[in-house]
Amino acid sequence: MAGTTLDNRNRRVGLIALSGALAMLGLGYASVPLYRLFCQVTGFGGTTQRVSAAEAARVALSDGTISIRFDANIERGMPWQFRPEQVTEKITLGGRRMATFIARNDSDFPVTGRATFNVEPEPAGKYFNKVQCFCFTEQTLQPHQEVRMPVVYFVDPKIREDEEAKSIEQITLSYTFHPLKAAQQSQVAQNAPKALDRTDTGG
């Protein structure tokens, strides 16, 4: 009888341990999207916000201004050139602006890439809003193709009400393009429409 009770107790402990392990595994799978959502909502780590044109239209203009610096990078070994058309500009808080980045594929074969991005200083992330951005989708450039990639954005005037961010005078918007894996590239190249509204000057 005592042996049966001990067996039941061991079985119960084993089930509890198994349940805990499964819960931790599930949490591990969920942690990446949850972390991404947290960053998008809070601007943590310099993550910018994504808004619709209708949402952007409801933001009031402010008398305040702020300087924006544009930074462009490529992963080592990626055969592209990538640069902002304009390095800095001063904008009115709440007003929508369009910045343009220029990318060129210097190789003799199609290359597909995707841009990661962030803003600095980090407290500015939750006030920097993108309405349109090439970073939302993969970009395929044909051999020696050069394209212009637009970003439509604004900075929320509420940045001047935030104790951590109100003294910021310049925000850096930084992009880094990374190549897709070879297996992904062929599939994207088949399905991707020809370059976002941009000027082709391949040569």
User: Where are the chain's structural domains?
Assistant: 2-42, 49-191
When mean pLDDT is compared across 97-101, 175-179, 198-202, the lowest value belongs to 198-202
In 1-99, which ranges are continuous DSSP H helix?
Answer: 2-42, 53-57
Mapped onto helix, strand or coil, the DSSP state of residue 157 is helix
What is the C-alpha separation between 58 and 82, in angstroms, rounded?
33
Compute and round to an integer the Cα radius of gyration of the chain.
23
Q: pLDDT band at residue 109, thresholds of 50, 70 and 90?
A: very high
Contact 79, 146 (CB under 8 A): no
Contact 98, 142 (CB under 8 A): no
Amino acid, single-letter form, for residue 175? Y
Contact 102, 83 (CB under 8 A): yes
Contact 71, 118 (CB under 8 A): no
Is 27's pLDDT higher than 80? no
Is 32's pLDDT higher than 50? no
Q: How many CB atoms lie within 10 A of CB 120?
A: 16
Give tens-digit pLDDT for 139-152: 999 999 999 999 99
Q: Supply the CATH classification number for the domain 49-191.
A: 2.60.370.10
What is the C-alpha separation between 172 and 175, in angstroms, rounded?
10
Q: How many CB atoms lie within 10 A of CB 82?
A: 18
Share of the chain above pLDDT 70, in %: 65
Is 37's pLDDT higher than 50? no
Mean of the per-residue pLDDT values for the chain?
77
Tokens coding 166: 């109100």
Q: How distant is the alpha carbon of residue 152 from its chain centre?
A: 14
What number is the average pLDDT over the span 192-199?
48
Tokens coding 68: 């924006």
